[in-house]
Chains A and B, each alone.
Chain A
Amino acid sequence: MINRRFIAIFNLTCLTGMLALPVAAQIDRAKQIGGKFMCMCNCNQVLTQCNHVGCTVSTAMLKELDQRLARGESETAITQGFVQEFGTQVYAEPPKSGISLVAWSLPSIYLAVGTALVVMVIWRWRARPHLRPAAANMPAGMSADRLEDVRQRVARETED
């Protein structure tokens, strides 16, 4: 009797789990895809983060997203559908194609050009000959070699 009850509970748990998993996965997917769209109520917030009470626009958009996911549409098809309906302003981030690639590539270009400039400046610094101290600035009664020795000693003793 106990075994039968145990098996029944086990089966019920497994069945509930199997049914709950796709639902949870769909919610996660809706959150992930919804995070790529803006709410079109002019609040300038991401669709999944619009916090206006009674915002009919975000409610309708989220509902449509859920319906499309339930129909098994791909992310590309959903995105195309939203863009057709609301225009390119629906993107929360520019798509990685066409003219929008410029927006994505600019930071890398800035970084590459800036790094090249910095490397060039450092290279020029390194290529510059070390300046010897001018005779006028030398302490009285100290030879250039002696001054160099002192410099090296100071460098050693202040290494940390």
Chain B
Amino acid sequence: MESSFLFNNLILLVSCVAVLSGTLFPVFSEWLSGSRISVGKPFFDKVNIPLGLILLFLTGVGPLLAWRKTSVDSLKRNFGWPLVVGLTAGAVLFALGLREFYSLVCLILCVFVTSTIGMEFFRGARVLKARSGSSLMTSAVDLTMRNTRRYGGYIVHMGMVLIFVGLSGAAFNKDAQKEMQPGSTMTIGRYTLLLQSMDTKPEPNYTSERLIVEVMKDSKPLMMLYPERRYFPANQESGTMVAIYSTLREDLYVVYAGRSPDNEVPVIHTYLNPLVKWIWLGGVVVVLGTFVTLLPNRRAVLALSAVQQPASAPSLSPSLQPQVTLREGHD
């Protein structure tokens, strides 16, 4: 348990220092050899993706290792099923045609971590359900409120899992660029974009040039998108307003990139990025989990309210006195 905490911090630290040294390497290479060697996205991807996956693995493993009493038996009991579920999910994804190594490993780990967190909630809620007779969901909420730091932490971990699911989609990003006359189409993934027309609209501080694009999915009309390019005459600059169609499965971005310098025809650049919404969703869950961890434990609140009862208040009979004490929950 203690070692998993240390390794967790080690991985974060290594990742941080690796990014720092990669960022500073061009300066050092120029200083040492006289030629500047640039370090771009591929380097940082290669270094940080494995570290991120190790971190994700520790996210699932760390919290379930018992403090100072982890044994082989407890490891089997806690991780046996999640491991089986994760590997089965991996086999299914592989059979469905997922061949990107890092995405596959990432999704296997996501299923593994989700299973460990789910089992942790289930075990605790089942004990409370047996005692109180309430439903499993009510018991899970009760469990969370009894130890907000522990179970809020699990919710934060779940948010991280959602973020990693979103990141795993990056391996399947697509993009396409095309010069398009009104009436022409372009295809990206399941979507076909038809440029219907374009208009120009003067605004108080900029002039907007807007494309009217019809989006069709699997050859059926889906929606209209209006990518824009705004020109600000005061500072002689222009900016793009990206039109977005976002679903849980994928995001479609349509950018009016400008006019071709050769023939003044509008150029549309489209991006199809899978699972982006999961990253946002994960962020929301992380914030929610953080709020839960900030809540006081239910027992502590009861104990405090008992202590703060005014002295003049009529005392209850001994049998009705709250039998609670202020205790720190296990974390």
Contact = CB atoms under 8 A, between A and B. Distances in A.
Given A53-B260, A118-B6, A92 B40 contact: yes
Interface stretch (B25-33, B84-92, B99-107, B185-193): B25-33
Interface in A53-101: 53-54, 87-95, 98-100
Contacts of A99: 29, 32-33, 37
A106 B21 contact: yes
Chain A interface category by residue count: 35 or more
What band does the interface of chain B fall in when counting residues whose beta carbon is under 8 Å from A? 35 or more
Given A92-B38, A115-B10, A54 B258 contact: yes
B91 to A, nearest CB: 28
Given A51-B177, A118-B3, A118-B6, A103 B43 contact: yes
Contacts of B35: 87-88
A111 interface: yes
Nearest to B29: A99
Contacts of A106: 17-18, 21
Contacts, number: 106
Contacts of A94: 25, 29, 37, 39, 43
A118 B10 contact: yes
A121 interface: yes
Interface in B55-85: 66, 69, 74, 77
Contacts of B14: 107, 110-111, 114
A36 B42 contact: yes
Contact of A53 (B37, B123, B257, B330): B257
Nearest to A118: B6
Interface of B: 2-3, 6-7, 10, 13-14, 17-18, 21-22, 25, 28-29, 32-33, 35-43, 46-47, 51, 66, 69, 74, 77, 123, 175, 177, 255, 257-261, 267, 269, 330
